[in-house]
């Protein structure tokens, strides 16, 4: 039986007509190696943003079903153009929308989850010898409404197709050479990581690395799909994202990430008694606000300060919730909002079996004179909230301290 190859090309890889022609050549080369090829494409770069901007010129809160109808058009353009480019070179190709490819999702418009992909139609086309080009990012509900999978969702479309088609590997083509030890714009010595475990990739993606949509990594982990993140601009092998391998733990820290989109809220002088934290965080959860780091200081006279961080785009909502609470039942002296906060993190499954990583991280930041405002840890990551202006300095110092410019991963 022929092998099935799933390739996904992101927005910059199909950003111009010339780029689309180059992708056609690459797809044909894989087809000529004797594989069945399924290609998933994003919209041309900037297209989805433009569609969203148009909608917001009409309404502050456009209907989500109509947003999906609108956003799904971006990918419909690229599938058709790529199919034409392949046909023009004398090869058989057929484009399919999410609906035509049977990508069935739930009804959660703008952030839908894939429920099922009956593969009969796809396989029929492959059996006919065709290169199948599927629109990423979109699906359809059981009742026929078009949905989208959240920003960056084409990665998840590709991984899901690789899972149901039992492809050996899902190749994600992008505009960088792979997953890096940190952002090369901040640290020029950053290296491409050759192999990384799903868990590490999930932490990297959640903590600030933007190469893959988080959901696509979760999907790959649950279904055992190997992902190969690589550049569509050259032939260099990229980064393999796969299950944990025996020697992966030898590397204590695999990468350093940062996120500048953090806001710290401090509720000063709340009564220090049972139920206060529960009240605050239940109210935030009730408003669907995701809280990241939390810290509580015991101050004098039975009053405590509670600080926590939230994503920047939710800070106003969080502030309203807290103000409401203070008025109604909480009683607090003051609320402070600090938006000049960043989070820097070190990640690696080697932390499970090596001690001293936190100490080294804190030492490194101290040596640079950077004050740590908050700390949070998981089994394979340590994060510190710091003043934003020190972000780049912190990332460079940590990358250096953990020898990431030299390690062989």
Residues that bind Mg ion in the complex, under the rule CB under 5 A: 10, 152
Q: Is 173 in the site for ligand ASP (CB under 6 A)?
A: no
Q: Is 139 in the site for ligand ASP (CB under 6 A)?
A: no
Helix or strand (DSSP H, E) at 382:
strand 381-387
CA torsion 227→105→73→94, rounded to 10°?
60
- The DSSP call for residue 165 is T
Q: Is 41 in the site for ligand ASP (CB under 6 A)?
A: no
* DSSP character string of 16-54: SHHHHHHHHHHHHHHHHTT-EEEEEE-PSTTHHHHHHHH
Q: Is 137 in the site for ligand ASP (CB under 6 A)?
A: yes
- In the complex, the smallest distance separating the C-beta of residue 219 from Mg ion, rounded to whole angstroms, is 14
Residue located via tokens 């050996």: 168
Instruction: Please list, in sequence order, all residues whose beta carbon lies within 8 angstroms of the beta carbon of residue 172, skipping any fewer than 6 positions away.
Output: 8, 10, 155, 158, 211, 212, 216, 227, 228, 229, 230
Single residue of 21, 123, 151, 360 touching ligand ASP by CB under 6 A = 151
Single residue of 152, 178, 255, 348 touching ligand ASP by CB under 6 A = 152
Nearer to ligand ASP, 98 or 255 (CB): 98
Sign of the alpha-carbon dihedral angle for 331, 336, 339, 341:
negative
Q: Is 15 in the site for ligand ASP (CB under 6 A)?
A: no
Of the candidates 116, 103, 139, 137, the residue with the CA atom closest to the CA atom of residue 213: 137
Single residue of 15, 74, 98, 348 touching ligand ASP by CB under 6 A = 74
- In the complex, the smallest distance separating the C-beta of residue 40 from ligand ASP, rounded to whole angstroms, is 9
Q: Which does 136 bind (CB under 5 to 8 A by kind): Mg ion, ligand ASP, none?
A: ligand ASP
Nearer to Mg ion, 15 or 152 (CB): 152
Q: Which does 153 bind (CB under 5 to 8 A by kind): Mg ion, ligand ASP, none?
A: ligand ASP
Q: Which does 137 bind (CB under 5 to 8 A by kind): ligand ASP, Mg ion, none?
A: ligand ASP
Q: Is 136 in the site for ligand ASP (CB under 6 A)?
A: yes
Widest pairwise Cα distance in the chain: 81
Of the candidates 409, 47, 14, the residue with the CA atom closest to the CA atom of residue 174: 14
Q: Is 201 in the site for ligand ASP (CB under 6 A)?
A: no
* DSSP character string of 319-365: HHHHHHHIIIII--SEEEEEEEEEEEEEE-GGGGT---HHHHHHHHH
Nearer to Mg ion, 216 or 307 (CB): 216
Q: Is 123 in the site for ligand ASP (CB under 6 A)?
A: no
**95 is written with which tokens?**
């484009």
Q: Is 360 in the site for ligand ASP (CB under 6 A)?
A: no
Q: How far apart are the first and last CA of the chain?
A: 34
Nearer to ligand ASP, 46 or 129 (CB): 46
Residues in binding contact with ligand ASP, number by CB under 6 A: 13
Q: Length of the chain, please?
A: 409
Stretch that binds ligand ASP, among 40-48, 78-86, 267-275, 285-293 (CB under 6 A): 40-48
Residues that bind ligand ASP (CB under 6 A): 10-11, 42-43, 48, 74, 136-137, 151-155
């Amino acid at each position: 039986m022929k092998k099935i190859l799933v390739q996904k090309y992101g927005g910059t890889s199909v950003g111009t007509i010339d780029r689309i022609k180059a992708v056609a050549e690459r797809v044909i080369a894989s087809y000529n190696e004797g594989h069945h090829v399924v290609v998933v494409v994003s919209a041309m770069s900037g297209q989805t943003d433009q569609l969203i901007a148009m909608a917001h010129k009409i309404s502050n809160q456009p209907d989500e079903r109509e947003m999906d109808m609108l956003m799904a058009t971006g990918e419909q353009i690229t599938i058709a153009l790529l199919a034409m480019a392949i046909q023009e070179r004398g090869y058989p190709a057929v484009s399919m929308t999410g609906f035509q490819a049977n990508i069935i999702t739930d009804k959660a418009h703008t952030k839908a989850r894939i429920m099922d992909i009956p593969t009969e139609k796809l396989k029929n086309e492959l059996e006919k010898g065709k290169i199948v080009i599927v629109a990423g990012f979109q699906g359809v509900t059981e009742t026929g409404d078009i949905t989208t999978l959240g920003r960056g969702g084409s990665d998840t479309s590709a991984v899901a197709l690789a899972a149901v088609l039992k492809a050996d590997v899902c190749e994600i083509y992008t505009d960088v050479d792979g997953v890096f030890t940190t952002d090369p714009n901040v640290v020029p010595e950053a290296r491409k990581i050759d192999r990384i475990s799903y868990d590490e990739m999930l932490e990297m993606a959640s903590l600030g690395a933007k190469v893959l949509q988080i959901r696509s990594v979760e999907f790959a982990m649950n279904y055992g799909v190997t992902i190969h993140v690589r550049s569509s601009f050259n032939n260099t092998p990229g980064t393999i994202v796969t299950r944990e391998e025996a020697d992966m733990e030898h590397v204590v820290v695999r990468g350093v990430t940062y996120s500048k989109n953090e806001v710290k809220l401090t509720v000063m002088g709340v009564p220090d008694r049972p139920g206060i934290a529960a009240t605050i965080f239940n109210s935030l959860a009730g408003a669907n606000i995701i809280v990241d780091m939390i810290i509580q200081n015991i101050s004098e006279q039975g009053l405590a300060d509670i600080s926590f961080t939230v994503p920047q785009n939710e800070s106003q909502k969080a502030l309203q919730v807290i103000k409401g609470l203070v008025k109604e039942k909480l009683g607090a002296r003051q609320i402070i909002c600090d938006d000049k906060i960043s989070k820097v993190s070190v990640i690696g499954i080697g932390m499970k079996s090596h001690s001293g990583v936190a100490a080294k991280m804190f030492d490194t930041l101290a040596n640079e004179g950077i004050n740590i405002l908050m700390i949070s840890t998981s089994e394979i990551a340590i994060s510190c909230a710091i003043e934003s202006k020190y972000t780049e300095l912190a990332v460079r110092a940590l990358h250096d301290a953990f020898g990431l410019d030299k390690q062989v991963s």
